[in-house]
Structure 1
Amino acid sequence: MGFLSEGTAAALARLVALDDADAPPLERLRGIRSLVAALEADPAALAAVREALASGATWEDVADAAGLSPSAAKYRWAGDDDAIADRQEASRRRKRHRPSSKPADLPGLSVAEAAKQLGVTPQAIYQRVSRGQLEARTVELPDGRSYKRVFPAPDEDTTRPEG
């Protein structure tokens, strides 16, 4: 297995051995995931891309062979080793600082939570808010995201559904 790194070749050999040993399903899954991780980190793909481009392949050809869009292939493999490493580090930094998609520590209830608690539809919550029957505020986070939050009165009747 000349073009694969030693670690990737070892992961492949372990997976093949699991197939021969009739291994339990979770061990097979671990072996598969280990091989996938090793292949993703293996410099063989970058070397193959560079060889293909040097021999006349286009980014479209590379993307097709890799199952990616041309822009994704270029993002992953264009440039020298330093440029690629810089892009990967920038991506890791963005992911570390990216907020979760749904903050859990907001005050009040979401419209959906309030609707469920009161036994009505979300549209009914909006109607109650517009009529002044329920308090609601838009909470804005420092990163610019905003959420409508509902604050039912403590004695709000949660047993009668109404629209």
Structure 2
Amino acid sequence: MHSIEFTLDDASDDAVRADWDALLAAGLPSAGSHRSATNRPHVTVLAATAVPTSLQDEAAARLLPLLPLPVRWGGLVLFGTRRLVLARLVEVDRALTALVHGLQQDAVDVAADPDRAWVPHVTLCRRLDPGQVGTALSVLPLLPEAAPSFTGLRRWDPVARRVTSLGG
């Protein structure tokens, strides 16, 4: 899926990478095991089978003026039923949620149901077995110490396997 993503300030990026490392040290799946230069803690704004240049430009025009944007860490959350995704929620205001929902409505073949609420989060691990949840929760802090902010916007193109900074 093509995506447009917020990136985090340096201290928050470091905090998420510390979570990734803690999961790895505990022998658990971790987003940190993917060592590509394109792998970076982020919050996906939209994911779709295609992101036309016009939508990319619209997203940049609407979101970049907000940066840097202070947000808040939320708790840990699990998505899925058998092979779980463990993520850290990111709390944002209603105005940003409405703006993102509007961008999603304009996307081509949005990956998620376009009528579904945006759940801003940073993925910590994928393919977590339900039996591993307790261990994962025991090695992660309830909340990172650093107060997070969105400081950048980027685009992921899976076909070209390229990340393009849109600014910030």
TM bucket, shorter chain: under 0.3
**Which protein, 1 or 2, shows the higher relative CO under an 8 Å CA cutoff with sep ≥ 6?**
2
Q: Judging by fraction of residues, say which structure has more helix.
A: 1
Looking at secondary structure, tell me which structure has more strand per residue: 2
Q: What TM-score results when the alignment is normalised by the length of structure 1?
A: 0.25
Kindly name which structure, 1 or 2, has the bigger radius of gyration based on alpha carbons. 1
